[in-house]
Structure 1
């Protein structure tokens, strides 16, 4: 093989390598474009996560400051109602006991009156 043929073969090889390099460059450019899209998507996700964090903080503050307070107020009200119910039950039992005593007195006096023949 002559020098000229060797040079032609080398030239063809270099030309093939250049064509392959152009394809690689195009692929790299496509990857760069794809990476820019990914970066843009990641930025959007970061913004969304930041907004979600803010909303969660607001919800946590609402739970802590308003709802927990309201639950405590309701619980205190229920305790007060429970105390009042206990007092009412106690008062009712006292009234019932007094009524039973009065019923006994009435029966006793009624019996006394009957025995004397007044009724």
Structure 2
């Protein structure tokens, strides 16, 4: 094989290598573009996650407020139940029992009913207030 033939073979090999290198460059350029697209997608996801984190924080605050409101409502309902049970129901019962005497003369019924009933109503009211105070002190 002559020197020219050897040089031609080498040049052909170099040409093929150049073609392969050019192909690799094109592939690398494609990969760079794909990586850029991925970077943009990741940035978009990061922004969306940030928005979600802010929304979750707002929801946590709202839930905390709701918990506090529910606790307040529970306490108020408990106080209403105590008042209803200890005061209102007793007072209604006392008034009803006092009115069973209406078969007697109206004057006699009023004389007997008025002082005792008023005292019982006042005692029931004070009993209810003491119960409420005990409940508040137990919660503190």
Query: Normalising to structure 2: TM-score of the pair?
Result: 0.62
Match of 2:26 in 1: 26
Taking the TM superposition and a 5 Å limit, the aligned residue runs for 1:34-45 are 34-45=34-45
Provide the rounded CA distance (Å) in 2 between the counterparts of 1:42 and 1:99. 81
CA RMSD of aligned residues (A): 2.1
Distance 1:30 1:24 in 2: 10
Count of matched residue positions in the alignment of Structure 1 and Structure 2: 103
Q: Tell me the residue number matched to 2:56.
A: 56
Instruction: Please give the alpha-carbon distance, in whole angstroms, between the structure 1 residues aligned to 2:10 and 2:84.
Output: 106
CA displacement, residues 39-61 of structure 1 (integer Å, 9 cap, x when unaligned) = 11111111111111111111111
Q: Comparing both chains, which one has the higher relative contact order based on Cα–Cα distances under 8 Å and sequence gaps of 6 or more?
A: 2
Larger-gyration structure (1/2)? 1
Corresponding residue for residue 4 of structure 2: 4
Q: How far did 1:96 drift?
A: 6.5
**CA positional deviation for 1:85:** 2.8
- Partner Cα distance (2:14, 2:93) in 1: 111
With 19-28 and 88-97 compared, the bigger mean Cα shift is at 88-97
1:43-82 per-position Cα deviation (integer Å, ceiling 9, x unaligned) = 1111111111111111111222x21221122101210122
**Separation (CA, whole Å) in 2 of partners of 1:81 and 1:9:** 104
CA distance in 2, matches of 1:27, 1:18: 14
Runs ≥4 residues deviating over 3 A: 88-100
In structure 2, the partner of 1:70 is 69
